[in-house]
């Protein structure tokens, strides 16, 4: 089946859009359920949306579930819960995307992701860094099929709300090519914090399980020119070994670490970098000062809370 208005839109494309919106909304459902544990309207909307993704026809029940989730959002006890419920409603409503070249239709594609980002942001003390992580994850999650559908529509309309700004930001992340990163102009010395027992001359290369977040295979090696940053990295690293700091020599270009510079400290005052090329271990640094254990525990607790929202502690 194909819908025709200003352009064609197939049922397979609609299912792909809804699959995307469900994936964006699910991570923040818990924020609503914590605030309103006896209200299953957002969960029911996501269930109905997933059934459409799995092959069921669009139905009155699906449309009604979207309306009810949106009503749950308006009645939610907190703003974070309200946006989480609205994300679920938008996911169910995405099945009814119209092939009309109107910017207001973009909400059917991006609304679930941006309401989820706002919900996560509010749940973490209105922290814009959290919204950044959510938007970047949503941009990476988008499949070529959904990207092609989005490209048929005008850009997201301007608005005066934080949610409207997030939608414009996500729209731009998806449509506009990211600028090519430029090598950093920093002569060091450079340090690497870890719990691995290394020897001078050994090479650190990408491809190992990262010491942070889920432990997924890392595409980069991280380093810093800050003597304070490396002990912190060593302290929060996973593993049974003692925290260690090494002076290292990069064997290729290094780039600003976007986890720090893009999301937290523009301009890279912490001199945090990453590279896809090896680092040569030059020497172990002895006598460094570890951060306060309370700081480490707060960082780990924060990473766990972010993981519950579907956010990796390290965007590698």
Say whether 218 sits in a helix, a strand or coil: coil
- Please give the pLDDT value at position 266: 66
Closest CA to 210 of 181, 233, 243, 184: 233
Model confidence over 183-238: pLDDT tens digits? 999 999 999 999 999 999 999 998 776 655 555 677 899 999 988 889 988 998 87
Q: How far apart are the first and last CA of the chain?
A: 40
- Please give the pLDDT value at position 316: 55
Percent of the chain topping pLDDT 90? 71
What is the residue-wise DSSP string for 25-62? HGGGHHHHHHH-TT--HHHHHHHHHHHHHTTPPP-HHH
Which of residues 24 and 219 earns the better pLDDT score? Answer: 24
Confidence (pTM): 0.83
Model confidence over 268-292: pLDDT tens digits? 788 899 999 999 999 999 999 898 8
Strand order in the sheet with 190-194: 203-204, 279-285, 244-250, 190-194, 221-224, 272-275, 255-256
Which of residues 315 and 220 earns the better pLDDT score? Answer: 220
DSSP 252: S
Average of per-residue pLDDT values in the chain? 90
Closest CA to 270 of 286, 283, 281, 259: 259
Domain boundaries, the chain: 11-175, 190-299
DSSP 105: G
- Please give the pLDDT value at position 207: 78
Q: How far is Cα 153 from Cα 182, in angstroms, rounded to an integer?
A: 32
Closest CA to 157 of 111, 112, 192: 111
Q: How far is Cα 270 from Cα 28, in angstroms, rounded to an integer?
A: 31
CATH superfamily assigned to domain 190-299: Rifampin ADP-ribosyltransferase domain (3.20.170.40)
Which of residues 1 and 218 earns the better pLDDT score? Answer: 218
- Please give the pLDDT value at position 10: 96
Say whether 146 sits in a helix, a strand or coil: helix
| 180 confidence band (pLDDT: 50, 70, 90) | confident
Which of residues 34 and 301 earns the better pLDDT score? Answer: 34
pLDDT at 263 over 70: no
Collect all residues with Cβ–Cβ distance below 8 Å to 2 and sequence separation of at least 6: 8, 9, 10, 11
């Amino acid at each position: 089946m194909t819908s025709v208005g200003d352009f064609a839109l197939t049922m397979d494309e609609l299912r792909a859009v809804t699959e995307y919106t469900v994936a964006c909304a699910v991570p923040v459902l818990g924020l609503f359920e914590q605030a309103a544990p006896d209200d299953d309207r957002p969960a029911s909307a996501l269930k109905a949306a997933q059934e459409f993704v799995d092959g069921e026809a669009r139905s009155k029940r699906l449309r009604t579930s979207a309306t009810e989730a949106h009503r749950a959002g308006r009645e939610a006890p907190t703003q974070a819960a309200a946006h989480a419920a609205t994300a679920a409603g938008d996911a169910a409503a995405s099945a009814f995307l119209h092939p009309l070249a109107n910017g207001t239709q973009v909400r059917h594609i991006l609304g679930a992701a941006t309401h989820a980002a706002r919900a996560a942001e509010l749940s973490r003390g209105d922290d814009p860094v959290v919204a950044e992580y959510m938007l970047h994850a949503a941009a990476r999650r988008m499949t070529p099929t959904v990207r092609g559908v989005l490209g048929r529509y005008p850009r997201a309309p301007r608005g005066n709300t934080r949610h409207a700004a997030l939608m414009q930001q996500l729209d731009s992340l998806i449509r506009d090519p990211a600028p090519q990163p430029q090598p950093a102009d920093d002569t060091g010395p450079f340090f690497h914090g870890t719990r691995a027992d290394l020897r001078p001359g050994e090479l650190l290369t990408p491809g190992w399980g990262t010491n942070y977040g889920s432990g997924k295979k890392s595409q980069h090696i991280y380093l810093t020119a800050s003597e304070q940053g490396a002990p912190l990295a060593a302290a929060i690293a996973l593993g049974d070994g003692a925290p260690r700091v090494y002076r290292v020599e990069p064997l290729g270009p290094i780039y600003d670490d976007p986890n720090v510079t893009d999301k937290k400290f523009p301009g890279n005052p912490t001199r945090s970098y990453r590279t896809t090329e090896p680092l040569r271990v030059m020497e172990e640094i002895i006598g460094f000062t570890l951060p306060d254990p309370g700081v480490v525990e707060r960082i780990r607790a924060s990473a766990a809370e972010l993981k519950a929202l579907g956010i990796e502690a390290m965007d590698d």
